[in-house]
């Protein structure tokens, strides 16, 4: 029996008795079907800080040159794509303007044809009147 009591006391010591300040243990809640484990209490969730080394960020000239070349290539590609897009936009605008001009020209010709027809009809009427006057 004494062996049973010692295992019980050690198992009780292993179990957390609540939240610990330094977070050496985690709180565990178990429901009917699920078991939820919370992160250790008191632990910092931020990454540990490292020593400040100002020279560690310096890169070699070759690396900087490669980055510059890559950046220039990327910018050239972007410029090409923007120019292409602008050219398409200008082409659409020009097409719209051309259609509008053609429509206006067509309307102008229709009006002119109507006017010319009107003038011709009036001329024929005057001619007929003259003929009537002469004949009567």
Evaluate whether 44 touches 23 at the Cβ level (below 8 Å): no
Tens of pLDDT along the chain (136 residues)?
Answer: 455 555 545 555 555 555 555 555 555 555 565 555 655 556 667 778 888 877 777 778 888 899 999 999 999 999 999 999 999 999 999 999 999 999 998 898 888 888 888 888 888 888 877 877 777 6
End-to-end Cα, the chain, rounded Å: 153
- φ/ψ bin of 18: left (φ > 0), alpha (ψ from -120 to 50), beta (otherwise): left
Return the exposure string of 9-46: e unless at least 16 CB atoms fall within 10 Å of the residue's CB, then b. eeeeeeeeeeeeeeeebeeeeeeeeeeeeeebbeeeee
This prediction's pTM: 0.41
């Amino acid at each position: 029996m004494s062996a049973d009591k010692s295992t019980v006391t050690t198992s009780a010591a292993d179990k957390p008795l609540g939240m610990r300040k330094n977070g050496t243990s985690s709180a565990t809640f178990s429901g009917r079907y699920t078991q939820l484990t919370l992160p250790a209490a008191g632990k910092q969730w931020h990454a540990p800080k490292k020593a400040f080394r100002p020279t560690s960020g310096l890169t070699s000239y070759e690396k900087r040159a490669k980055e510059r070349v890559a950046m220039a290539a990327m910018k050239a590609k972007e410029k090409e794509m923007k120019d292409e897009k602008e050219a398409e936009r200008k082409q659409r605008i020009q097409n719209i303007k051309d259609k509008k001009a053609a429509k206006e020209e067509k309307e102008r010709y229709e009006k002119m044809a109507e006017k010319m027809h009107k003038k011709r009809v009036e001329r024929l009427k005057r001619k007929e009147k003259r003929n009537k006057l002469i004949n009567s």
